[in-house]
Amino acid sequence: MDMEKENKTKAARVLTEALPYIQKFHGSTFIIKYGGNAMVEEGLKNNFARDIVLMKLVGLNPIVVHGGGPQIGTLLDRLNIPSKFVAGMRVTNSETMDVVEMVLGGLVNQEIVSLINKNGGKAVGITGKDGDLITARKLEVNEASNELKASEIIDIGQVGEVEKVNAEVLNTLIEQNFIPVVAPIGVGAEGESYNINADLVAGRLAAELHAEKLILITNTPGILDEKGETIPNLTIPELDNLILQGVIKEGMLPKAQCAKTAVAQGVRSAQIIDGTLPNSLLLEIFTDEGIGTQVIDA
């Protein structure tokens, strides 16, 4: 009986702790980059959907931006279409782009929408092509050439970067009480499709919509120091130092740079959190301690 009483008291304490954050963030926009194991494991996928629905129910405005690299790779393998990467980005010809649109704009996007709706939300799936949400331009990649001993531009096909965002599309959905789920595909000046890094899309949307927070869901506890321990808070200058020192590297580097850019462009804070932890979104937003690494301006 004592254990039951303790559990009830703990539950009440959690709800009380969440109240000031619900009040503080009511009406605010949160951009959530959804990726990693949280997109793959069934239990984590359902937890994520419930977290998003709860955020909306208590007055927050979540916008989900998702990737889908592993799913794209799997389908390309099944179709016997070879995958090639340059500087960590998938070379995307017209054939590969068809698969990218099928996976990101169709399979992955609609699965997320269905999960959110199944848990009581009102999600709408869109790509950057819908309503000209994301106007894109071709991404130029510079790579060192051993023969020329200089940098040369490598053509990696229909891989793009964000040129312009039509925020009205997302604001209209939010006003109608929908939860937008965005696939990172942009449209070029001639109507061509571009595959865009989901982290970059999330960061740019956060800046354009003046979001309260950008949250990047990863498979790690956050940005780690030399000892492998999570750094709870970083300013932009501190982040730059860690990059220069090589502490932030490899897969964490683009996420750290995305967080930095968003904060530098006016987003109040960016958070890199561990999506393998159940209910990670709620723990970050509605508890005093939070989780992961928070990046703020100096």
Long-range contacts, 287-294 (Cβ 8 Å, 24+): 287/14, 287/17, 287/18, 287/21, 288/17, 290/232, 291/221, 291/222, 292/221, 292/222, 292/230, 293/222, 293/223, 293/230, 293/231, 293/232, 293/233, 293/234, 294/232, 294/233, 294/234, 294/269, 294/270
Let me know if residue 184 belongs to a domain: yes
Let me know if residue 17 belongs to a domain: no
CATH number at residue 237: 3.40.1160.10
Q: What total number of domains does the chain contain?
A: 1
Contact assessment for residue 116 and residue 179, using Cβ atoms and an 8 Å cutoff: yes
Question: What pLDDT shows up at residue 150?
Answer: 45
> How many whole angstroms separate alpha carbon 3 and alpha carbon 180?
41
Residue among 132, 131, 129 nearest 184 (CA): 129
Residue 234 confidence class, pLDDT cut points 50, 70, 90: very high
pLDDT at 146 over 50: no
More confident of the two residues 143 and 277: 277
pLDDT at 247 over 70: yes
- pLDDT digit string, tens, across residues 66-113: 998 889 989 999 999 988 887 777 888 899 999 999 999 999 999 999
> How many whole angstroms separate alpha carbon 201 and alpha carbon 216?
11
Choose the weakest-confidence range: 83-87, 152-156, 278-282, 291-295: 152-156
Query: Rounded to 5 degrees, what are φ and ψ at 81?
Result: -100, 120
- Cα dihedral 193/132/111/121 (nearest 10): 170
More confident of the two residues 291 and 6: 291
Mean pLDDT, residues 224-251 taken together: 91
Contact assessment for residue 66 and residue 182, using Cβ atoms and an 8 Å cutoff: yes
Let me know if residue 30 belongs to a domain: yes
> How many whole angstroms separate alpha carbon 261 and alpha carbon 203?
7
Per the structure, the complete domain to which residue 255 belongs is given by 25-296
Let me know if residue 14 belongs to a domain: no
Question: What pLDDT shows up at residue 86?
Answer: 78
Could you tell me the two tokens for 14? 């959690």
- pLDDT digit string, tens, across residues 14-48: 778 889 999 999 999 999 999 887 888 889 999 99
Choose the weakest-confidence range: 10-14, 21-25, 166-170, 234-238: 10-14
- pLDDT digit string, tens, across residues 178-201: 999 999 999 999 999 999 999 999
Residue 3 confidence class, pLDDT cut points 50, 70, 90: low
Average pLDDT, the chain: 89
- pLDDT digit string, tens, across residues 102-135: 999 999 999 999 999 999 999 999 999 999 999 9
Question: What pLDDT shows up at residue 157?
Answer: 85
User: Tokens 């990101």 label which residue?
Assistant: 104
- 135 bridge partner residues: 164, 187
Let me know if residue 266 belongs to a domain: yes
> How many whole angstroms separate alpha carbon 122 and alpha carbon 173?
10
More confident of the two residues 287 and 140: 287
Let me know if residue 97 belongs to a domain: yes
Let me know if residue 72 belongs to a domain: yes
Could you tell me the two tokens for 176? 């109608």
Provide CB contacts within 8 A for 103, sequence distance 6+: 68, 71, 72, 75
User: Tokens 């039509």 label which residue?
Assistant: 166
Q: Please state, for a pLDDT cut of 70, what percent of the chain lies above it.
A: 92
- pLDDT digit string, tens, across residues 147-166: 444 455 677 889 999 999 99
Let me know if residue 5 belongs to a domain: no
Query: Rounded to 5 degrees, what are φ and ψ at 148?
Result: -90, -15
What pTM did the predictor assign? 0.91
User: Tokens 């000209």 label which residue?
Assistant: 132
What Å distances lie between residue 69 and 65, 215, 221, CA to CA? Answer: 13, 19, 21
